[in-house]
A and B are shown apart, each in its own frame.
Chain A
């Protein structure tokens, strides 16, 4: 098949789906009730692109293919086309986006089935997939930015999907506004590139980057990184992601865990040759990533809302990816994106399944006249769910192992590779990488601990909701459990695409490294720094063993601790750490800091400055224009005498003048 056609199909099918599930029911109300049909269409338009992408991948995914559709805009020497690029990096991202996306769509059919705006949800989800594909398949920064803004928009729409609750609308606005800060930096980076290189095509950027001055390279990479911190929820712009959990759980799984939040990282990986030219910024990236990973992990330890735990865990894992990018191991970052997409989507969907079941319990309780507090997302009301939701439990446990890095699960390979690369980079003479590595190890321990805590509080122990003896949640329908099983399986085996170097001893090689970076003279789309020193094999084996040990220790420790104390474990930790615990609990007062330092001064200043400005100058200007119009209309109104002959006179006068023009 024609690769151009395939690319266009991959990109446009989700858009077609968005139109079918969005515009059609919008105007033909009778379609809204056909939820099965809408769900099937919405899922198929994501599943088919996955099939096509897989076909490309199997046939010849190692070739770079550029599809130019049309010129979007042209001004003088500068022109931007709608151009898509299929290469190793974009195909792997496309596979993740459409593959995980299709599973989550399927899941959403079951999860959202009773929702009134089912059709709208699928329209937004499909639109999101379309935008995300624009982002990952773009061949120039502007198309990428189009997708970048598009996924931001869809994220906003989906976080505020249940906009009847004010809290959700506020969360949506927060996500959008915080993202704008990053987008602004991204725009500035593009301006610099246009000014310096006159083009935004990736090819032109890579061929022209040698001629850039060191200052402008640093500026561009720094601005791009700030853009990435917004989208990928890094310090200091991570505050929107935990609040984004206000959206429906499939959204959290798809957008705020598996795909959209990784786009910042994709951007860095895509422009990795450019990033490598700015070692100062790379150091910043690594340190910010490490700090984010640690901070978010400590916050996740103290959260009681199951989705907020996962949200902070996402922030923490994204921090890992940035650590990898900061030490030049972009391919490992992408590797972690892939494995993280598997296990984090599985975790979120599992939590969704739990919430679905607990919501059922809540409805039953309310019907029986229960008046007390209850929150379907709060782990304090859960516990002992393994009896009632076996599939959810096993998949959740599996992906908990994966994220903790238990040996031979997906997270084990990617996380250890990140830590190893950080170590190797430090070995190569970059001192900061040692710190990053140490923070990474500490975070790995925390990760294993808090994820096991969330598993234990949810699925093990005693049931803590009211009246556990006469009512309990049920396992979710197959459309929700099937994606769980598939993603759980992927969390188990997904890591084998990126085996550590030790495996070379057994005749195996790191497939994803060869695929993305290139091997045997073939260059891939992702660059990596040149290493001068080599870590010896035994040291690497030792590091891997250390990583595995850390994970096992974290899991076993947390397991024993929470099996004995259950909910009381939190109290014990609080008692041990006191103020520090409170500090973490409130997200390091980050929101309050922003509120006091930025939000309130801006609003107060706006009230003082812009309210009078609006009333006097803007309104005054508008009124002045209106008065001028009034005067003119009065003047011209005088001409409307209503007597036809006067009009005829004017016409003939015009004819005479035109004839006069012709004659002379």
Chain B
């Protein structure tokens, strides 16, 4: 099956690049690894027939957010900082906790696997831009407007924060 092959490839690449983000010493490399992960997730959205979200994923995450990250990294010239990190007790606890969460999530998923819904009859219908748009501008019109205001506020806040030096 084509979709399964795509899933296997994309998920492997996503996990590997996420780990790459985690262990890269340079922030720039971390960012690049993350972009690769995000692309893979977009590919996974495609295997789920969610084309609209996949496109938005690439446009917003890869295109906008990650560019912003890279831009800031370069602005602050962080690549030049010494970033050898010490592994101390706290980091050890953090690693253990991360593994614990993974184990718990998998365990919970495995116990609930019988309750999962079977595949819907027509995933194309829900993934299409028209279906999303219809819901977004009718039932979710108010939250949609609120998100617009939130973004405006965030923009103003970001400008104000970055404009002056902290006193």
Question: In whole angstroms, how far apart are the Cα atoms of A660 and B108 in the complex?
Answer: 10
Determine the distance from Cα of A649 to Cα of B92 in the docked complex, in whole angstroms: 11
Q: How far is the CB of A421 from chain B (nearest CB, A)?
A: 78
User: B90, A663: Cβ atoms under 8 Å?
Assistant: no
- The segment from B42-50, B97-105, B130-138, B151-159 found at the interface with A is B97-105
Per the bound structure, the CA–CA distance linking A652 and B100 in Å amounts to: 10
Q: Within 8 Å of chain A (Cβ to Cβ): is B94?
A: yes
Q: Which of B70-110 contact A (CB under 8 A)?
A: 90, 93-94, 97-98, 100-101, 104-105, 107-108
Contact A660 B104 (CB under 8 A): yes
B107 to chain A, nearest CB (A): 6
A645-B90, A646-B90, A649-B90 given; A656·B107 CB < 8 A: no
Give the secondary structure class of B's interface: helix
Asked if A659 contacts B101 (CB within 8 A), the reply is yes
CA gap between A170 and B90 in the complex, in Å: 69
For B98, what are the chain A residues with a Cβ–Cβ distance below 8 Å?
Answer: 652
* A609-664 at interface with B (beta carbon < 8 Å): 645-646, 649, 652-653, 655-656, 659-660, 662-663
**Distance of A646 Cα from B104 Cα, bound (Å):** 22
**Smallest Cβ distance from A598 to chain B, in angstroms?**
66
Task: Name the residue on B nearest A648 (C-beta).
Answer: B94
Indicate which residue in B93, B108, B111 contacts A659 across the interface (CB closer than 8 Å).
B108
Q: How far is the CA of A270 from the CA of B57 in the complex (A)?
A: 82
Q: Which residues does chain A contribute within 8 Å of B101, judged by CB atoms?
A: 652, 655-656, 659
Q: Are B97 and A662 in contact (CB under 8 A)?
A: no
List A contacts of B97 (CB < 8 A).
649, 652-653, 656
Minimum CB–CB distance for B134 against chain A, Å: 36
Q: Are B100 and A656 in contact (CB under 8 A)?
A: yes
Cross-chain contact B108 with A662 (CB below 8 angstroms): yes
Q: What is the CB-to-nearest-CB distance from A572 to chain B, in angstroms, rounded to a whole number?
A: 90
Known contacts A645-B90, A646-B90, A649-B94; is-contact A663 B100 (Cβ 8 Å): no
Asked if B104 and A663 make an inter-chain contact with CB atoms under 8 angstroms apart, the answer reads yes
Report the Cα distance A655→B100, complex, angstroms: 10
Q: Enumerate chain B residues within 8 angstroms of A663, measured Cβ to Cβ.
A: 104, 107-108, 111
Minimal Cβ-Cβ distance residue in A for B98: A652
Q: What count of chain B residues pass the 8 Å CB interface test?
A: 12
Give the residues in chain B near A649, CB-CB below 8 Å: 90, 93-94, 97
Q: Taking CB as reference atom, which chain B residue is nearest A656?
A: B100
Q: How far is the CA of A662 from the CA of B97 in the complex (A)?
A: 17
- Residues 108-145 (chain B) with a chain A CB within 8 angstroms: 108, 111
List the A residue with the shortest CB-CB distance to B91: A645
Residue in chain B with minimal CB distance to A646 = B90
B104–A656 CB distance below 8 A: yes
Min CB distance, B144 to chain A, in Å? 30
* Bound complex: CA A11 to CA B93 (Å): 69
Tell whether, in the assembled complex, residue B90 and residue A659 are in contact, meaning their CB atoms are under 8 Å apart. Answer: no
- Complex alpha-carbon distance, A649 and B93, angstroms: 8
Contact partners of A652 in chain B: CB under 8 A: 94, 97-98, 101
- The docked-state distance in angstroms from the alpha carbon of A649 to that of B98 is 10
Contacts of A646 in B (CB 8 A): 90
Question: A297 CB to closest chain B CB, in angstroms?
Answer: 80
CA distance A250 to B88 in the complex (A): 83
Q: Which residues of A contact B94 (CB under 8 A)?
A: 645, 649, 652
List A contacts of B107 (CB < 8 A): 663
Bound-state CA distance A656–B93 (Å) is 12
Interchain nearest-CB distance for B164 vs A (Å)? 23
> Nearest Cβ distance between residue B86 and chain A, in whole angstroms?
13
A70 to B21, alpha carbons, bound, how many Å?
Answer: 67
Complex CA gap A659/B102 in Å reads 11
User: In the assembly, what is the distance between CA of A645 and CA of B91, in Å?
Assistant: 10
CB contacts (< 8 Å) of A656 on chain B: these are: 97, 100-101, 104
Q: Would you list which residues of chain A between 525 and 539 have a CB under 8 Å from chain B?
A: none
Name which residue of chain A comes closest to B100, CB basis. A656
Interface string of A315-330 (1 = CB under 8 A from B): 0000000000000000
On chain B, the residues within 8 Å of A659 by CB distance are: 101, 104-105, 108
Question: Hey, which chain A residues are within 8 Å of B111, CB to CB?
Answer: 663
Complex CA distance for A645 and B105, rounded to whole angstroms: 22
What residues of A have a CB within 8 angstroms of the CB of B104 in the complex? 656, 659-660, 663
In the bound complex, residues from chain B placing their C-beta under 8 Å from that of A645 are 90, 94
Nearest neighbor of B93 in chain A, beta-carbon distance: A649
Interface flags for B37-68 (1: CB within 8 Å of A; 0: not) read 00000000000000000000000000000000
- Chain A residues near B90 (CB-CB < 8 A): 645-646, 649
Q: How far is A652 from B101 in the complex, measured between Cα atoms in Å? A: 8
Q: Which residues of B contact A655 (CB under 8 A)?
A: 101
The residue in B97, B105, B107 that gathers the most chain A C-beta atoms within 10 A of its C-beta is B97
C-alpha spacing A646/B101, complex, angstroms:
17
Which residue of A has the minimal Cβ distance to B94? A649
Cβ contacts A to B, 12 pairs, < 8 Å? A645-B94, A649-B90, A652-B101, A653-B97, A655-B101, A656-B97, A656-B101, A656-B104, A659-B105, A663-B107, A663-B108, A663-B111
Residues of A within 8 A of B (CB): 645-646, 649, 652-653, 655-656, 659-660, 662-663
Known: A646-B90, A656-B100. 4 other contacts (CB 8 A): A653-B97, A656-B101, A659-B105, A660-B104
Closest 9 CB pairs of A and B: A659-B104, A652-B97, A656-B100, A663-B107, A656-B97, A663-B108, A656-B101, A663-B104, A649-B94
